[in-house]
Amino acid sequence: MMRIVVSPYHLSTREIPAMASLLLADECITLLPMGRGGKSAARDIAEQSESYRELVRSWGWADELWRAGVIRGEIDGESAVSDVQRAAAAIADDPALVDLRGLMHDRLFEDDRAYLNALAYDIMKSGPDPGISLPVAAGLDAFAARHGAVSARSHWKSVAQTAESELISDRVSFVIPALVQADASRLIKTRDVLGNALNQLRTAIDECAAALTPSRVDDLKVAAMDYGIAFERSMTIISKDCKSDDVRMITGDIAMTLCTLPHDAVMRSSVRAMQAMSGGGRSRRNDPALALTSGGPVSALYFKTLGGGR
């Protein structure tokens, strides 16, 4: 099973890492807005938090994908909540992360009510607060690495993202056509129509994520090409009656880079970005593996839309 871990920020805005992953993966896993108290505590918080209720409503477009099991909040009964909390604790305790502490909100992730309200508000507003989004991104990476999933990312643009791109190893790039914009029913229909081609592509991605050997890279290139051919040949079926959809269907070519990142890539690149913006240049004094954020390497997929949709 090929799983892609998707940020709740991307899911709410329907950005290309989410849209492409919803088509491509067997399952997309995201961070459910829950704390230590689980679903019952989340329901109690929802009764008092308009931001939380607004977030839940914003995910309504994907209800059919949740019901179909395409989007999930857990793997084997485990969510990423504890990983996010550990990432926040690492920033508070790890000496190598001292440059990031000024971004954080004191003890925010220790209180379910405050954390969930802040997370919901941050996801719904434009421009994420790094004091919230940074632990979320680092926690999702740790969760993905532990479960053998791939972590979805936008193509690098910001200072921190560019710093992270310099940590990439073992990369392979390819281009596939996909639905850049569509409603949930159209995504599910496309997954069904392209089932065989998608399965071959998923297998090839999984195998390359495990070990990027020349033969597996060749297999991935072939699987991506076969999928592209199947996509174009099936467009009449995929787009049938699309004018009645809730959201206009738009297709486009997506450049994807599958690569390996160190387990602490989010933290390390954020430290580099903070040092650069504070006048410290490209200091690498914090580049050694971070003491409290141990873990295996992260398989990541970067997504970038090429040109306009059609």
DSSP conformation letters of the chain: --EEE--HHHHHHT-HHHHHHHHH-SEEE---S--TTHHHHHHHHHTT-HHHHHHHHHGGGGHHHHHTTSEES-BTTB-SHHHHHHHHHHHHH-GGGGGGGGGSPTTGGG-HHHHHHHHHHHHHSSS--HHHHHHHHHHHHHHHHHTT-EEEEEPP-SHHHHHHHTT-EEEEEEEEEEEEE--HHHHHHHHHHTHHHHHHHHHHHHHHHH---HHHHHHHHHHHHHHHHHHHHTHHHHTTTGGGSSS--EEEEEEEEEEEE-TTHHHHHHHHHHHHHTT-TT--TT-SPPTT-----EEEEEEEEES---
Q: Please state the domain count of the chain.
A: 1
- In angstroms, the CA 139 to CA 298 distance is 11
| 250-280 pLDDT per residue, tens | 999 999 999 999 999 999 999 988 888 776 5
* pLDDT at 304 (0 to 100): 94
* pLDDT at 36 (0 to 100): 56
Asked whether residue 255 is domain-assigned, the answer is: no
| 159-169 pLDDT per residue, tens | 888 888 899 98
Asked whether residue 111 is domain-assigned, the answer is: yes
* pLDDT at 281 (0 to 100): 53
Query: 10: domain CATH number?
Result: 3.40.50
Asked whether residue 14 is domain-assigned, the answer is: yes
* pLDDT at 295 (0 to 100): 74
Asked whether residue 197 is domain-assigned, the answer is: no
Full domain range(s) for residue 138: 3-155
Two structure tokens written together for 257: 């880079």
Asked whether residue 69 is domain-assigned, the answer is: yes
Asked whether residue 273 is domain-assigned, the answer is: no
- In angstroms, the CA 145 to CA 150 distance is 7
Asked whether residue 125 is domain-assigned, the answer is: yes
Asked whether residue 279 is domain-assigned, the answer is: no
Two structure tokens written together for 54: 């607004």
* Half-sphere exposure in the Cβ direction for 96 (13 Å, CA): 19
Please say whether the beta carbons of 250 and 182 come within 8 A.
yes
pTM (two decimals):
0.91
pLDDT < 50 stretches in the chain = 282-286, 288-289, 291-292
